[in-house]
Amino acid sequence: MSPQKKMKKRKELNALIGLSDSRRKSKQSGGHRLLRTGTDTGSGTESETESGAEERGFGGGRGLLGTSSVQCCSLCYPLCVFVVLAACVMACAGLIWMQIALKEDLDSMKEKIHITQPLDSAVNHLKTNIKSSSDLILPAP
């Protein structure tokens, strides 16, 4: 591809992503590495190495956080998964326990309602008996 065509494609890409020549600060901070021109990404150049490290963040596993952060993450990840899993199991066990307790309460309430209904019918039966007996014991004239 000729240099004129590359520049034309570059301008088209810049227009698509909203970049202008005045907004570009340097070759290294010219956007995503796939959108850079061929002169920006030479193999093994210093700008590629620096921009690759910037894209990975925190020096690519070296420097401020270093390899100890990678080791910490490899240790913390299974621990966090275990804690979340244990919390889910505990929550499920609690829900099952609550369901069993509520079922027992419901059964006892059904039994109490059933007992109240024989008592209610017995009271109604006694009321009718008292009424009929009072009719039989009329005062003698």
Asked if the model's pLDDT at residue 54 lies above 70, the reply is: no
Asked if the model's pLDDT at residue 55 lies above 50, the reply is: no
Percent of the chain with pLDDT over 90: 34
131-to-122, 127, 135, 140 alpha-carbon distances in Å: 14, 6, 6, 18
- How confident is the model at residue 16, as a pLDDT? 82
96 in a structural domain: yes
Asked if the model's pLDDT at residue 27 lies above 80, the reply is: no
- How confident is the model at residue 134, as a pLDDT? 74
53 in a structural domain: no
Mean pLDDT in the chain?
Answer: 76
More confident residue, 52 or 104: 104
CB 37 within 8 Å of CB 6 = yes
106 in a structural domain: yes
112 in a structural domain: yes
User: If pLDDT is split at 50, 70 and 90, which confidence band does 109 have?
Assistant: very high
Break the chain down into helix, strand, coil percent, rounded to 5.
Answer: 75, 0, 25
- The domain tally of the chain equals 1
Q: Which residue has the tokens 């039966």?
A: 125
Asked if the model's pLDDT at residue 60 lies above 60, the reply is: no
